[in-house]
Structure 1
Amino acid sequence: MRLSWNEIRARAATFAREWKDAHYERGDTQTFYNEFFDIFDIKRRKVASFEEPVKKLGNKQGFVDLFWKGVLLVEQKSAGRKLAPAKQQALDYFPGIKDVELPRYILLSDFQTFELYDLDEGGEPVAFALADLPKHVEHFAFILGVQKRTFRDQDPVNIKAAEIMGRLHDALEESGYGGHDLERFLVRLLFCLFADDTGIFEPRDIFLDLIEQRTSEDGSSVGMWLAQLFDVLDTEEDKRQRSLDEDLARFPYVNGSLFEERLRIPSFDAATRNALLEACRFNWSTVSPAIFGALFQSVMDRAERRKTGGHYTTEKNILKLIGPLFLDELREEFEKIKRMRRGRPKALQDFQTKLGTLRFFDPACGCGNFLIITYRELRILEMEVLQLIYSTGQQELDVSALSKVDVDQFYGIELGEFAARIAEVALWMMDHIMNNRLSLEFGQAFARIPLKTAPNIRHGDALETDWQDVLPAANCTAILGNPPFIGSKYQSDEQRAQVRRIANLGGSGGTLDYVAAWFLRAGEYIQQNTACRIAFVSTNSITQGEQVAQLWPILFDRYGLEIDYGHRTFEWGSDARGKAHVHVVIVGLSHRDHERNPKRLFSYDDIKGDPVESTHGALTAYLFDAGTVHNRHLVVYEVGRPINGAPRLLSGSQPIDGGHYIFDREEREAFLAVEPAAERFMRPYVGAREYINGADRWILALQDAQPHELRAMPEVQKRMALVRTERAKSPRKSTLKIADQPARYNVEVLPTAPFLALPESSSERREYAPIGWLKPPTIPSNLLKALPSDDSWFFGVLTSRMHMSWLRHIGGRIKSDYRYTIGIVYNTFPLPNASPAQMNRVRDLANKVIAAREEYPNSSLADLYDPDVMPAPLRKAHKNLDRAVDGLYRRAAFASDRDRVEHMFGLYEEMIRTSKV
């Protein structure tokens, strides 16, 4: 049975009396700490060891007086010895301890005095005399697994825990046990392991004892014992058999449907038993439920497990979403209540009641990260409220009745059954951690066992599930989460059909990313409760490029939504090996009947750094201030011709040749060795990569070849035949149309004069997308845009900071690289009004940029525009050009790229009004 704190205090008083004369370090230490742990009904030998050998600072061998890996290090001295040097002696052991075994607590003692340091919380130690141990014994609640826990995103403990579960998973799977049963079995084990170390199972380590002491070493009886245990955990104490084994009878009734389903239990052998014992001996009280859930899911895929550490959303990033969504507002309300002079007690009670009525819904919840952190933050806020409500007489309270916030306020949908079940268990784990904190605050032991409430996690496809059936919109406070991104080109046929059906755009259905479907479903959902709020993480593709004009008019016009807050592009992910970083935005929305003002915008100078917050009257779909436009819902539509008075920009040649006409240097030399007459038909073929990095490619350009010339080149004829065959296989009508014309390209741009080349994609690291002139016989590929002009005015304007700002904010992305599109970026860019003299000034400065490049003939554009090594003269030439072009738009200097694009957005609105687009 669980000891009450009153019983623990009584035991502490007895201990203090019996040891009031202890003084000799070597003679008394081990007995002293064996009996100290008995205060908490914990056998010291089960958790900690004496004289643990550890390499000290300076690589000297040392022996820790008492070491509980991952939890506690004790440095013991004889009575009367000063403890100040003992702390440094304890810290000297740290370099020799593995990261996952570093203790959170250091205890220094000379028998008659104690100093306890919490290294996570920092601050001054808890210091007291042995006689006062009963007054301070609650500071040792961590021995019971009850502690305030500060989880760290990159804590190696979480990764170590996932690796342990991975080994157990592999051992069971290799034995032939897998599928649904394995997934549910591992989730049950996770609960038992956590319960054994955090006070849900009492006394501590009874699950470890069961496996270690009662099962045979060859593993043959492990399955039998686990099957019985699962039945016991699902059976109320008063309904169990009287003849039940006493070691099983010690376990509590859990309920919560976790152990309800009958599973096929695996057969164990010595190896799988050892893997289970390794998991049992690990300290699970230090694992973060929010992070570990996603890590645990990764053990099911060995290839993914190699990237362990990259499969979770950091708490810092989750707080970026939930803070502006609801938490900041709740805290502001709480602060106002705290300042009240009259009626504060009732206001506090009403506020706590309100916290218990909030409902949160993540329709792509995965392993529950967002729900878990949201639950934790609500419980923390509630605890602060309770501290004010019950500021006196706390020891007499019934702690179990204090909290009104519970896991059944949280709802989710998840496609993967395993992840859905992890989300449930992880929420229960966080519930217990918060109950432990409540226990510490109010001095009573409290565990919510049996589980009377459960999270509402639906296993299913969120885009095919009726959200009203999961949580009626009338009861929903906020929809939140991190839905799957999946670009339009990477969606399955089924996924693409889902997005098109939900968007209802007609025709092809657009090119929306998968994440857009969640925004649309959420917009539809809150029509039944316009007070409900929405916030999702998304790739930044929904706030720039062609998707903006497809998605946002629906959200604004069809569903009446407005943007309450936004985090502009920042980097999402961890520093794990093999994990690609994704550039994302966070967008918070509400119905215009309940929109909040002012609007909050979080901008990042460095996508890896912290944001700077600003407030605005309205935000555009591009996440910048809408103050320069009359219509805050304005979006940039893709147009087929320039509406800015600029000459037409062309997309380069697209041969559709199966690669048979394209050659690198070695391939060209080999081909001309056997077909020398083809040399005059070989032309340099330049795409974005070749242009920026200086690589060489050639293409066969046979458009002007005469029939007798083609007949004289048999190797060329072979390639023409291959091209004809390739095209004939295509489902595209335009390709089939030219199948019998193999000497032609699908799209032909064959310049006869110098042209300005603009790469379709360029690294986001560059301040300027490299552009410049090429001349015949070069043929641009479809990844290079061609402007038939040698006027350096256009070069000056298009390479300026103004145009780069338009590209960054309005243009789309290819992964994280800038994507230069004709219809979105070039055709819509507001050109400045300039006098002939101003245009000549820009031409002169543009030519100086070209001249600065020519000072480095052996450097590629990639070299010249690498921000880390960009030559100072080139940077200076660009800055001078930037100032000149900026001045064509307005006299006042621009403070930032966002300032530039906000100004141009107003010009764009005027331009489309006058151009009648």
Structure 2
Amino acid sequence: MNAFEIEEAISSLAEQPFDASEFPYSFLQAFGAKETTLRRLRSGDTNKSDIGGVLQTTNIHIKVARVGAVTEALKDLKSSPATSRAKAKFILATDGVDFQAEDLNTGEVIVCEYRKFPEFFGFFLPLAGISTVKQIRESSFDIKATGRLNRLYVELLKDNPEWSTSARRHEMNHFMARLIFCFFAEDTDIFTKETLFTATVEQMSSKDSSDTHIVIEAIFKAMNTRSEHRASAGIPRWANVFPYVNGGLFSGSTDVPVFSKIARTYLLHIGGLDWKKINPDIFGSMIQAVADDDERGSLGMHYTSVPNILKVLNPLFLDDLREKLEEAGDNPRKLLNLRSRMSKIRVFDPACGSGNFLVIAYKQMREIEAEINKRRGEPERRSEIPLTNFRGIELRDFPAEIARLALIIAEYQSDVLYRGQKEALAEFLPLDAMNWITCGNALRLDWLSICPPTGTGVKHRADDLFMPPINQAEIDFQNEGGETYICGNPPYLGKGKKEDDHLDDMRHVLGRYTAKFGYVDYVGCWFIRAAEYMQETNASAALVATNSVCQGRQLPQLWPFVLKKNIEIFYAHHSFKWSNSAAHNAAVICVIIALSLRGERNRKTIETTEYRKNVDHINAYLIDGASLYVESRPRPLASSLPSMGTGSVPNDGGRLILNKDEADQLVAAYPIVGELVHPFFGSQDFLKGHNRRCLVIPDDMLEAVQNYPEINERLSDVAELRASSKKKETRDLLSKYPHRFQHRGAIPERNVIIIPSVSSERRQWFPVGLLPSRTVVSNLAFMIIDTDISYFSMLSSKMHLVWLSTVCGKLKTDFRYSNTLGWNTFPVPNLTDKNKADLTRCAEDILLAREAHFPATIADLYDPEKMPADLKAAHDRNDEVLEAIYIGRRFRNDTERLEKLFELYTKMTFGKPTKSGNIKMKA
């Protein structure tokens, strides 16, 4: 269940007559408890309550109290030994009149009337496995309103299927935006009478809903007609109480879809909500999925938390405004200058969705402006920050409409907060017709026409609020001297997730610079466009992206074209989880990267979840270091490192590979075959302890083994498989030699270090293995044969893990290995004989610690929740020894490790950094 379904179920439960015996089970059912779980609790099989309540292990202990004894019941629940034994997260007591609950982890308590407990449903969302942030838990209204609007939307489309077609979908979306405005306006005194819209629909339309659409059409028409024109426009007298709204919101077609009785009921229920509680920060993000068939299943799960948005906006420009406010103190002139500066600042989100970045930016700026006005003794002064300075581009029309509406609501709420209800109402209507949210493809539109360079007169069209600029009547807007800040969270779309239209966009944006951009994520296009825009304007940019844009093969395909000419990175936030409210959601690992013109930002900052530091230069790997791009090498950069090769490719349909039993039976039947059977390992074999073998048949042994039926049958199958291949070489050549692998790597005489091609991101160290002589490593792993095991120590270190995770990148979230990119570029200091001996002992200690836990698999041993203490200690010691070779001590964190590795890489590969931070290659 998602948050919306839970809210609906809880609200329904509160509206029903209180049933003391059923309440605990109905409550749990509302949070997704399955029927089998409830049945076992009812029977007592799993209910371990010791005070006559209902106890669900690891979740909640519920007690229905006698009337007036709720407080005592909650105390009993808290002191109950069973509560502690079952590790309950919550306790809950109610008598059907009062309601009390406590989160036993945080100590947070709820005390309310029983009928009002649904308002706190977010408090209990962990019962449904939903990881929540504080903002969501405090936004029960937004969740409730969105859920109701979704039900209305779906119900209307049942009876008006033509409104779901591409021809009329825009009208449907526009209709929903109008409804939201009406609900908000009637609860905030924008309309002269509370519940004016809802009450009028209820009173003037028939209960059978046959004329509901006609009544709403008349209301909409009234709000688009000035009072002096209403008589000639045929507005019914009862609709004259509605004000003239304008602003394009009610212009154009006033068609309304036909309502069923159910749809009419939904509408009246939605109007009964308290829309004063709407939070435009997140409401738009929640509701945008209502109008998207593909996204409705994850309704409301596109929520972006305010703290995450501020991670972008604060370093981009809000921190600077607050610093200037602090510097100004109570100096009237400095405060006036800051206010004047803020009035010209433009915030531009070229992937704005439902506008949450723009709304948060607007509200934060209004807060600063209000403080300025307060210090200057002008607390009720009208805001000088125009909504037209908050501009966006959004591909889909409904989120674009909601973005504009969210800004309108944010403006009104800010006016009420800082100037008072009377002043806010006096200036709210009619709405301003100007609209700077453009619906279109941000990668195809000209950003300079949507947000032109400062110091130029802008002729833009604006009559219909939600139509593209090309269809709008001209207005003039002067933007002399202002700053522009680009921000947002564009669509990521990594390799394999892009469709044809995305690839066309990428060719349009990146194709002007390079033909090689196959590894670049879709979000990379926004960095290119931002850099191009900044060349023409006084602008800075800060965008959210998946951390993969600063890792692996895509980095040299993207960043040389972003950081061209005079563009540089002035702020970087290292990897963090950009999560939403979805149950069991797999949070995306993101970074924030901020760009400016070189020299515009003297202070450059790198931030992580643990610390923040100022640096001189930030490169594309988001570290304090020279601008460089690590690319594949055919041989190791460090001459002391051995060659790492790829494994063997059987291309045999599995017929040259045997499990242990098959191998044992074959050797028992034909002892001479024993010398042809070799251990065979790929990544999963090594990690999960699979025991496989393979046949390695020399050419001079082929004739002999073909006399053995079991082997001959296997070779015939391989020949047949290859003969049917689509590849000419496989058909014409390899099919004639079925005993040979398509490619066979060298077979070790002493040992082989196996390096998996992929490893889980959860592991603290990249697990490599040491295998015996004669082992054949498959093409699903890499290998170093017959070598000193001091290299096993290097491969097993945190130093190597942080390097490969940065320069090799990830496969989804897992570490992805590359010999040419991860090993051949690995910077290693010159090693003395003592260094090698110390590292060899460390490698031996790791191997001995593993062996002590036989038969546990590598996957088991390197599970961070199960890793044995002695193995962890061996790895820690290994890191300590290796890191001392680099700097004489342990590194404090991964960022420090990376900075040292890049410093050494620069020395080994290039000349000294220039003043600009770029580096020149040695001749």
Scaled by the length of structure 1, the TM-score of the pair is: 0.77
Distance 2:308 2:491 in 1: 16
Identify the residue that residue 400 of structure 2 maps to in structure 1: 420
Aligned pair count?
769
Contact 1:728 1:739 in 2 (8 A): no
Indicate the SS of the match to 1:583. strand
What is the identity, as a one-letter code, of the residue corresponding to 1:555? Answer: V
Identify the residue that residue 317 of structure 1 maps to in structure 2: 308
Contact 2:493 2:521 in 1 (8 A): yes
Identify the residue that residue 615 of structure 1 maps to in structure 2: 614
Say whether residues 1:164 and 2:148 are aligned partners.
yes
Say whether residues 1:338 and 2:324 are aligned partners.
no
Say whether residues 1:100 and 2:119 are aligned partners.
yes
Say whether residues 1:506 and 2:514 are aligned partners.
yes
Identify the residue that residue 46 of structure 1 maps to in structure 2: none
Indicate the SS of the match to 1:757. strand
1:584 to 574, 590, 595: 590
Q: Residues 827 and 205 of structure 1: is their aligned pair in 2 closer, same or farther, counting only changes over 3 Å? A: same
2:334 to 322, 347, 357: 347
What is the identity, as a one-letter code, of the residue corresponding to 2:602? Answer: N
Identify the residue that residue 628 of structure 2 maps to in structure 1: 634
Say whether residues 1:600 and 2:591 are aligned partners.
no
Distance 1:320 1:200 in 2: 34
Identify the residue that residue 564 of structure 1 maps to in structure 2: 570
Say whether residues 1:459 and 2:426 are aligned partners.
no
What is the identity, as a one-letter code, of the residue corresponding to 2:412? Answer: H
Identify the residue that residue 864 of structure 1 maps to in structure 2: 861
Deviation at 1:726, TM superposition (A): 4.2
Q: Residues 502 and 790 of structure 1: is their aligned pair in 2 closer, same or farther, counting only changes over 3 Å? A: same
Deviation at 1:362, TM superposition (A): 1.0
Q: Residues 202 and 833 of structure 1: is their aligned pair in 2 closer, same or farther, counting only changes over 3 Å? A: same
Identify the residue that residue 412 of structure 2 maps to in structure 1: 432
What is the identity, as a one-letter code, of the residue corresponding to 1:523? Answer: A
Stretch deviating more after TM superposition (433-442 or 312-321): 433-442
Say whether residues 1:516 and 2:507 are aligned partners.
no
Could you report, residue by residue, the CA deviation over 1:123-144 in whole angstroms, capped at 9, with x for unpaired residues? Answer: xxxxxxxxxxxxxxxxxxxxxx
Deviation at 1:804, TM superposition (A): 2.2
2:745 to 740, 744, 749: 749
Distance 2:439 2:767 in 1: 49
2:365 to 358, 365, 378: 378
Contact 2:393 2:438 in 1 (8 A): yes
Could you report, residue by residue, the CA deviation over 1:16-69 in whole angstroms, capped at 9, with x for unpaired residues? Answer: xxxxxxxxxxxxxxxxxxxxxxxxxxxxxxxxx99x9899996455799xxxxx
Deviation at 1:200, TM superposition (A): 2.4
Q: Residues 375 and 825 of structure 1: is their aligned pair in 2 closer, same or farther, counting only changes over 3 Å? A: same
What is the identity, as a one-letter code, of the residue corresponding to 2:147? Answer: E
Distance 1:815 1:356 in 2: 43
Which structure 1 segments of 5+ residues have no match?
Answer: 1-48, 65-89, 105-149, 605-610, 627-631
- 1:287-306 residue pairs with structure 2 within 5 A? 287-301=278-292, 304-306=295-297
Distance 1:268 1:491 in 2: 39
Indicate the SS of the match to 2:344. coil
Say whether residues 1:534 and 2:541 are aligned partners.
yes
Deviation at 1:102, TM superposition (A): 8.2
Identify the residue that residue 804 of structure 1 maps to in structure 2: 801
Deviation at 1:661, TM superposition (A): 5.1
Indicate the SS of the match to 1:786. strand
Say whether residues 1:687 and 2:687 are aligned partners.
no
Deviation at 1:94, TM superposition (A): 5.0
Q: Residues 255 and 846 of structure 1: is their aligned pair in 2 closer, same or farther, counting only changes over 3 Å? A: same
Indicate the SS of the match to 2:535. helix
1:706 to 702, 706, 716: 702
Identify the residue that residue 178 of structure 1 maps to in structure 2: 164
Indicate the SS of the match to 1:483. coil
Root mean square deviation of aligned Cα: 3.7
- Give the percent of matched residue pairs that are identical in Structure 1 and Structure 2: 31
Contact 2:246 2:433 in 1 (8 A): no
What is the identity, as a one-letter code, of the residue corresponding to 1:690? Answer: D
What is the identity, as a one-letter code, of the residue corresponding to 2:644? Answer: L
Distance 2:192 2:732 in 1: 74
Which structure 2 segments of 5+ residues have no match?
Answer: 1-13, 21-61, 71-108, 124-133, 455-478, 912-920
Could you report, residue by residue, the CA deviation over 1:831-857 in whole angstroms, capped at 9, with x for unpaired residues? Answer: 122211221121112101100110100
Identify the residue that residue 481 of structure 1 maps to in structure 2: 488
Scaled by the length of structure 2, the TM-score of the pair is: 0.76
Distance 1:480 1:678 in 2: 70
Deviation at 1:913, TM superposition (A): 3.1
Distance 2:206 2:611 in 1: 60
What is the identity, as a one-letter code, of the residue corresponding to 2:193? Answer: P
Indicate the SS of the match to 1:478. strand
Contact 2:506 2:525 in 1 (8 A): yes
Deviation at 1:275, TM superposition (A): 2.0
Deviation at 1:499, TM superposition (A): 2.3
What is the identity, as a one-letter code, of the residue corresponding to 1:253? Answer: Y
Identify the residue that residue 906 of structure 1 maps to in structure 2: 903
What is the identity, as a one-letter code, of the residue corresponding to 2:525? Answer: A
2:579 to 573, 581, 588: 573
Indicate the SS of the match to 2:298. coil
Q: Residues 96 and 192 of structure 1: is their aligned pair in 2 closer, same or farther, counting only changes over 3 Å? A: closer
Distance 1:425 1:413 in 2: 14
Deviation at 1:521, TM superposition (A): 1.0
Stretch deviating more after TM superposition (184-193 or 736-745): 736-745
What is the identity, as a one-letter code, of the residue corresponding to 1:650? Answer: G
What is the identity, as a one-letter code, of the residue corresponding to 1:449? Answer: L
What is the identity, as a one-letter code, of the residue corresponding to 1:373? Answer: I
Say whether residues 1:829 and 2:826 are aligned partners.
yes
Contact 1:755 1:773 in 2 (8 A): yes
Identify the residue that residue 891 of structure 1 maps to in structure 2: 888
Identify the residue that residue 562 of structure 2 maps to in structure 1: 555
Distance 2:645 2:887 in 1: 30
What is the identity, as a one-letter code, of the residue corresponding to 1:190? Answer: I
Deviation at 1:620, TM superposition (A): 2.1
Identify the residue that residue 121 of structure 1 maps to in structure 2: none
Indicate the SS of the match to 1:566. strand
Could you report, residue by residue, the CA deviation over 1:679-728 in whole angstroms, capped at 9, with x for unpaired residues? Answer: 98886654333322334567777785837866954565345434443434
Distance 2:732 2:347 in 1: 53
Q: Residues 679 and 576 of structure 1: is their aligned pair in 2 closer, same or farther, counting only changes over 3 Å? A: farther
Identify the residue that residue 644 of structure 2 maps to in structure 1: 649
Contact 1:537 1:587 in 2 (8 A): yes
